[in-house]
Structure 1
Amino acid sequence: MDEKKLEEELKKIWDETPISHSDSEKEVCWEQFQSKAFSSKERKFKPWRYYAAAAVLIFVLVGTGIYFNSTSSGNEIILAENTIENTSSIIKKIVLPDSSRVELSPNSKIVYASNFATNRKVEVSGEAYFKVKKDKKHPFQVFCNETTTTVLGTSFTVKGYARKEVTVALYEGSVQMNVKNQDKKWILKPGEKFSYGNNTPLVTEFNRFTDFDNQKLSDVGDYIESNYSYKVIIPQEYYNQRITVRINKKEDLKTIVQLISEMYNLNFTVNENLKQITFQ
């Protein structure tokens, strides 16, 4: 098969293969592929590369689809082999292959590649809270609309629905923010929030703690019930015990329960079926 015929056949396969992108997006992707696979120099000296390119193209197209994310550092590609969507009315807890944890809000979804251990890229639609496992060799990146959040190990929320403002709120660690087609980078500190809407980036502070100042212990129980959906049972004689404590709004429930247990020398049991914590 001559070069022109091969190029025509590849274009036919590209156009006929179902991909979750518009015709204009597919055409742009084809032009990028064509410019690389069929450059004048390579046609002249290395025709075998066309066949290798054809094999790669066909292999990719018969997969589950391609998600293209443009960042200031270039095009990032995530093979959409793993999609998790939360269609329920409560938060869905997810453990990613690298042991990072995600709390996925209702009407939200994430997409990540099958080779996640070495390709720690996640695409978010909606709202999700991430608690990232540290891995210096493989930075963790979250793509949401036109923004990219890059981390090594930290906890933060990402919120961005289609055609709406994206917000990233940092609770622990450090993250770097990038916006498509912009060279500037923003480094967030804990307690800072990055917002991007109407082509305008903004960094502001937010309160990442809930403070209890000489309040009743039962108030902490009410806080747990409201934010973690676990009913808390405290012995009657401890109801009016006073407590002064600062709690990270995204703190693990286990940490809060253990703190109360140690402060008041109480034992506790957790009933996962009833979603109930009993101190005694």
Structure 2
Amino acid sequence: MDKEKLDNDFEKLWNETPLSHSDNIKEDSWKQFHSQTFAKNKRVFKPWRYAAAAAILLFAGIGTGIYFNNKPQSEHVILTENVIENTTTKIKYVVLPDSSKIELSPNSKISYANNFALNRKIELIGEAYFKVKKDKQHPFQVFCDETTTTVLGTSFTIKESEKKEVTVELYEGSVQMNVKGQDQKWILKPGEKFTYANPTASVVEFSRFKDFDNENLSALSNYIEENYGYKVIIPAENLNQKITIRINKKEDLKTIVQLISEMYNLNFEINEDLKQITFQ
């Protein structure tokens, strides 16, 4: 990616920051961000950078290629060699043989073949969030009911309801949707949701961000506890410090934790056994 294209992409992301900031403030901050981003020398830490930090971090997938199959899937492949089922009441974290990651929701199941590195096809029953490892030579496909989602490297959620309605929400990258028996294909962009309720299909926008606009840091720690299941311990003197940030609702927890650490000059420790994050 050349400098001019990177410049344009960053400016586009910057313009998506919370609307409560005036255009003048956003424009001035953007110019300052731009001048330091492309500086030759290493930059020292500047707190203002984080007004748009999340938008920059969350779109690391810009430029990801995508394989589009011109022919819709006529039949689903039956994959039974490896079956992973979540019978608990909590999200189950799965790392696939190609290093792609899945958050498998309760009462959901995936299955895939033994030669997954070469045949990246998955059958899904229920709901799961996918963060796919990029591999140009081997497209990643998810079969759910009568739909097929084809990707290379991206992140998205697929959900099948009890009424056999399938929804796909795209957070990063690009995906192609096919429906069994139909010639039409749908190519989704980040922030778009595909819904298939036999026999109709539709694409609408959805909010993939969570905004914190001049809120206490404690609000962000509560968000982490509610959405990631980790208890967050922050020093009392930092709890009421203000934060303005936009994050992807499916951002990696470690990225958020590191962001807080740098913004407030705090060290942190993650205890996986206790599901606890301690800042100090």
Regarding TM over 0.5, the answer is: yes
- More off after superposition, 154-163 vs 189-198: 154-163
**Take 2:188 and 2:258, find their aligned partners in 1: how far apart are those partners?**
30
Unaligned 5+ segments in structure 2 are 1-70
Structure 2 counterparts to residues 117-128 of structure 1, below 5 A: 117-128=117-128
Task: Specify the alignment match of 2:104 in structure 1.
Answer: 104
Task: Specify the alignment match of 2:278 in structure 1.
Answer: 278
- More off after superposition, 266-275 vs 212-221: 266-275
What do residues 30-55 of structure 1 show as CA deviations (whole Å, max 9, x unaligned)? Answer: xxxxxxxxxxxxxxxxxxxxxxxxxx
Q: Shift in Å at residue 277 of structure 1?
A: 0.6
Aligned length: 210
What do residues 64-85 of structure 1 show as CA deviations (whole Å, max 9, x unaligned)? Answer: xxxxxxx834334233100000
**Take 1:109 and 1:134, find their aligned partners in 2: how far apart are those partners?**
23
Task: Specify the alignment match of 1:167 in structure 2.
Answer: 167
Please tell me whether the aligned partners of residues 79 and 123 of structure 2 are also in contact (alpha carbons under 8 angstroms).
Answer: no
Q: Give the % identical residues.
A: 73
| Cα RMSD, aligned residues only | 1.1
Q: Shift in Å at residue 194 of structure 1?
A: 0.1
Task: Specify the alignment match of 1:236 in structure 2.
Answer: 236
**Take 1:244 and 1:234, find their aligned partners in 2: how far apart are those partners?**
17
**Take 1:73 and 1:198, find their aligned partners in 2: how far apart are those partners?**
16
Task: Specify the alignment match of 1:91 in structure 2.
Answer: 91
Task: List structure 1 runs of 4+ shifted beyond 6 angstroms.
Answer: none
Task: Specify the alignment match of 1:187 in structure 2.
Answer: 187
Q: Shift in Å at residue 162 of structure 1?
A: 5.2
**Take 1:106 and 1:126, find their aligned partners in 2: how far apart are those partners?**
8
Q: Shift in Å at residue 243 of structure 1?
A: 0.2
**Take 1:134 and 1:114, find their aligned partners in 2: how far apart are those partners?**
19
Q: SS at 1:78's partner residue? A: coil
**Take 1:101 and 1:84, find their aligned partners in 2: how far apart are those partners?**
13
**Take 2:220 and 2:162, find their aligned partners in 1: how far apart are those partners?**
36
**Take 1:91 and 1:79, find their aligned partners in 2: how far apart are those partners?**
22
Higher helix residue share: 1
Kindly provide the amino acid, as one letter, of the partner of residue 135 in structure 1: D
Kindly provide the amino acid, as one letter, of the partner of residue 121 in structure 2: K
**Take 2:170 and 2:198, find their aligned partners in 1: how far apart are those partners?**
22
Kindly provide the amino acid, as one letter, of the partner of residue 220 in structure 2: V
**Take 2:93 and 2:158, find their aligned partners in 1: how far apart are those partners?**
15
- Confirm whether residue 211 of structure 1 aligns to residue 211 of structure 2: yes
Taking structure 1 as the reference length, the TM-score comes to 0.73
Please tell me whether the aligned partners of residues 74 and 180 of structure 2 are also in contact (alpha carbons under 8 angstroms).
Answer: no
Kindly provide the amino acid, as one letter, of the partner of residue 178 in structure 1: N
Please tell me whether the aligned partners of residues 73 and 148 of structure 2 are also in contact (alpha carbons under 8 angstroms).
Answer: no
Structure 2 counterparts to residues 135-146 of structure 1, below 5 A: 135-146=135-146
Q: Shift in Å at residue 242 of structure 1?
A: 0.1
**Take 2:77 and 2:246, find their aligned partners in 1: how far apart are those partners?**
41
Q: SS at 1:79's partner residue? A: coil
Structure 2 counterparts to residues 245-256 of structure 1, below 5 A: 245-256=245-256
Q: Shift in Å at residue 272 of structure 1?
A: 1.3
Please tell me whether the aligned partners of residues 125 and 160 of structure 1 are also in contact (alpha carbons under 8 angstroms).
Answer: yes
What do residues 180-215 of structure 1 show as CA deviations (whole Å, max 9, x unaligned)? Answer: 111011000000000000311000000000000000
- More off after superposition, 72-81 vs 262-271: 72-81
Kindly provide the amino acid, as one letter, of the partner of residue 278 in structure 2: T
**Take 2:78 and 2:119, find their aligned partners in 1: how far apart are those partners?**
9
Task: Specify the alignment match of 2:53 in structure 1.
Answer: none
Taking structure 2 as the reference length, the TM-score comes to 0.73
Identify which of structures 1 and 2 has the higher relative contact order when contacts are C-alpha pairs closer than 8 Å and 6+ apart: 2
What do residues 82-139 of structure 1 show as CA deviations (whole Å, max 9, x unaligned)? Answer: 0000000000000001000000000000010111011000000000000000001000
Tell which structure's C-alpha radius of gyration is larger: 1
Kindly provide the amino acid, as one letter, of the partner of residue 143 in structure 1: F
What do residues 201-233 of structure 1 show as CA deviations (whole Å, max 9, x unaligned)? Answer: 000000000000000001000000000111101
